[in-house]
Amino acid sequence: MSANNFFRNTVYLLIVTLFFSCKGKNQPAVNGTETEIIPDDIVEMRSDQIKVANIDTGTVKLREINSTLKVSGKISVAPRNYATVCAPLGGFVRYTALVPGNAVRKGETLVMIENQEFVDIQENYLEAKNKLEYAEAEYRRHSELYKEDVYSEKNLQQVTTDYKNLKALVTAYAQKLALIGIDPSGLREDNISRSVPINSPISGYIKSVNVNLGKSISSTDVLFEIVNNDDLLLELTLFEKDANKVAAGQKINFFINDEEEVHEAEIYQTGKSVEADRTYRVYARVTRGCRNLIPGMYVNAAIRTSGGVVNSLPADAIVTFDDKDYIFVFSRNKQEKGMDFTEYRMIEVKKGKSEEGFSEVSLPENFDIRKEKVVTRGAYNLLSAKKNAGEMAC
């Protein structure tokens, strides 16, 4: 660096420091004139300095500030949004074209299953249905003959029993057909099929696929898992000691992975028992959809617990110096040598919980929140001026 640049930067730094410095505490008298002694808790600034420092004042407000409880958990879905697909009677896989991640609609065909038993059930249904038509006609005919005393009661009872048995058999076969995915009302002798479709019970995304062409499957084999992400839940784990701090309706902010994006949820149910490891479960519903939320992800969450109404200030109004918290309040306006000055008094306070840019503040007993004007913006500039006051004077 050249000597000229070094000199220029040094002068500039000195001017800036002097501009934001306040008057010295004990300046010597000049030409016999008395010099004002500024108390240690007072910071004095000119009107032009106040504009540069962007200082603004306000009053202490009563505000409800909630505290937060840090917990962890995972993303899950409601049982109605998670489907495990099986083939009720088993068989062989004839066709499928799905892979994990595919989107499916409710009722869409997932796989075609082939089984000889399907043919037998359809055949038995149609045979029983045809017999039922004849039995129903016989039942009506014998009922009329019985009314005319042409037919005995015993014979009518036998016909009635046969008719009801066949009716029950047809109903049972119809339920079996519906179970394997065949509509009984559309089944005829000329459209019997050896394969049936397995359809998706919900809309969502394929989570897992456990089939391939020609594979033999049983009724207990899981063919597909389908997840609907439209209604995601949080399953959070709390310690037993925090169980009384949460309730249905409380708001939650949560994060996934290392993302900075804040996601929101609301507690809809709390656990009714404590686990063996002395933890407690809380369940919340995600209130805003987000594409990168996937069931099974771990989350870090902050539950907003009830806090009550407290004295509050904007977080920027409270400064920290030597591990203590302070605020600045307007003291008075004055004039010196034709210039306007404003004095601000530095007051020690205790900062509490914070929420949405506001912080709880514990004030001295004699502090009048209705009259005192607190510096709500530019407090750190005043703190810098206070620090400089001990080293330099205006």
Q: Are residues 88 and 162 in the same domain?
A: yes
What residues contact 102, with CB distance under 8 A and at least 6 apart? Answer: 205, 206
Domain encompassing residue 262: 68-79+229-305
Q: Are residues 205 and 113 in the same domain?
A: yes
More confident residue, 83 or 294: 83
User: Per-residue pLDDT for 367 more than 60?
Assistant: yes
Q: Are residues 332 and 369 in the same domain?
A: yes
CATH code assigned at 259:
2.40.30.170
Q: Are residues 119 and 213 in the same domain?
A: yes
pLDDT grade for 289, boundaries at 50, 70 and 90: low
Q: Answer yes or no: is 12 within a domain.
A: no
CA distance 199 to 43: 76
Q: Are residues 101 and 165 in the same domain?
A: yes
Judge contact between 265 and 38, C-beta under 8 A. no
Q: Are residues 89 and 126 in the same domain?
A: yes
More confident residue, 31 or 98: 98
CATH code assigned at 182:
2.40.50.100
Among candidate residues 245, 273, 305, the one where a domain is terminated: 305
> What average pLDDT does the segment 260-269 reach?
88
Give the residue carrying structure tokens 């703190």.
383
Q: What pLDDT is stored for residue 119 in this prediction?
A: 94
Q: Are residues 235 and 222 in the same domain?
A: no
Q: What pLDDT is stored for residue 234 in this prediction?
A: 92
Q: Are residues 107 and 217 in the same domain?
A: yes
Domain count, the chain: 3
Q: What pLDDT is stored for residue 35 in this prediction?
A: 57
Q: Are residues 185 and 202 in the same domain?
A: yes
Q: Answer yes or no: is 14 within a domain.
A: no
Q: Are residues 282 and 182 in the same domain?
A: no
Instruction: Quick: pLDDT tens for 41-72.
Output: 888 888 888 888 889 999 898 887 777 888 99
Q: Answer yes or no: is 183 within a domain.
A: yes
Q: Answer yes or no: is 11 within a domain.
A: no
Q: What pLDDT is stored for residue 18 in this prediction?
A: 45
User: Per-residue pLDDT for 20 more than 60?
Assistant: no
CATH code assigned at 383:
2.40.420.20
CA distances from residue 43 to 17, 313, 357, 384, 387 in whole angstroms, order as listed = 15, 20, 26, 10, 10
Q: What pLDDT is stored for residue 263 in this prediction?
A: 87
Average pLDDT of the chain? 84
Q: What pLDDT is stored for residue 307 in this prediction?
A: 65
Q: Answer yes or no: is 5 within a domain.
A: no
Q: Are residues 119 and 219 in the same domain?
A: yes
Instruction: Quick: pLDDT tens for 80-105.
Output: 999 999 998 899 999 999 999 999 99
Q: Answer yes or no: is 15 within a domain.
A: no
Among candidate residues 305, 328, 359, the one where a domain is terminated: 305
Among candidate residues 193, 226, 259, the one where a domain is terminated: 226
Beta strands in 37-154 (DSSP E): 42-46, 56-58, 61-64, 67-77, 82-85, 91-95, 103-104, 109-114
149: exposed, middle or buried (Cβ count in 10 Å: 0-12, 13-18, 19+): exposed
Q: Are residues 192 and 207 in the same domain?
A: yes
Range from 112-116, 140-144, 161-165, 179-183 carrying the lowest mean pLDDT? 140-144
Q: Answer yes or no: is 194 within a domain.
A: yes
Q: Answer yes or no: is 17 within a domain.
A: no
Instruction: Quick: pLDDT tens for 147-176.
Output: 776 667 777 788 889 889 999 999 999 999
**Cα 15 vs. chain centroid, distance in angstroms?**
52
Bridge partners for 314 per DSSP: 358
